[in-house]
Amino acid sequence: MNRRGEISVTFMSGPLDGKTLTFNQPELGEQKIITIGRRDTCDIHLGFDNQVSRLHARLGCVSNPVTETDSSLPALLSFWLEDSNSRNGSFVEKDPDPLMERINLRPGILFRIGRTWLRLDVPLSFG
């Protein structure tokens, strides 16, 4: 049985501190985009944070084959984060400067949207 793994993001501050949201990993060769913001329709809804824009940022996950010849092997996941022209910016770890362009993220990294800290968790299973 080839069960796709999950992507998870954990709240590291605020009223949802400790809560983890999970999303399905994208199919091999595909990309999944997770929206973050104050809008109800965002995948990660931060309606409690008045420093967050309606559509504040996007977190992406790309699933690539480990080798070009064998797609039966687990996928190699890569992640990125980009600000969606928010008013207050998006921040990664201790960098005081807001994101100006899409950046690659590694699992375990902390990032801040408005006043809310989030962590991209290490995927538990691949493929």
* pLDDT tens across the length of the chain (127 residues): 234 588 999 999 999 999 999 999 998 889 999 999 999 999 999 999 999 999 999 999 999 887 666 555 567 899 999 999 999 999 999 999 999 999 999 999 999 999 999 999 987 654 4
| pLDDT of amino acid 127 | 44
| pLDDT of amino acid 94 | 93
Euclidean distance between CA atoms 127 and 125, whole angstroms: 7
3-state helix, strand, coil in the chain (%, to 5): 0, 40, 60
Q: What's the angle, vertex CA 47, arms to CA 115 and CA 117, rounded to 5?
A: 30
> Model's pTM, two decimal places?
0.89
C-alpha Rg value of the chain to the nearest Å: 15
Euclidean distance between CA atoms 6 and 23, whole angstroms: 5
| pLDDT of amino acid 126 | 47
Q: Which two tokens stand for residue 112?
A: 């801040």
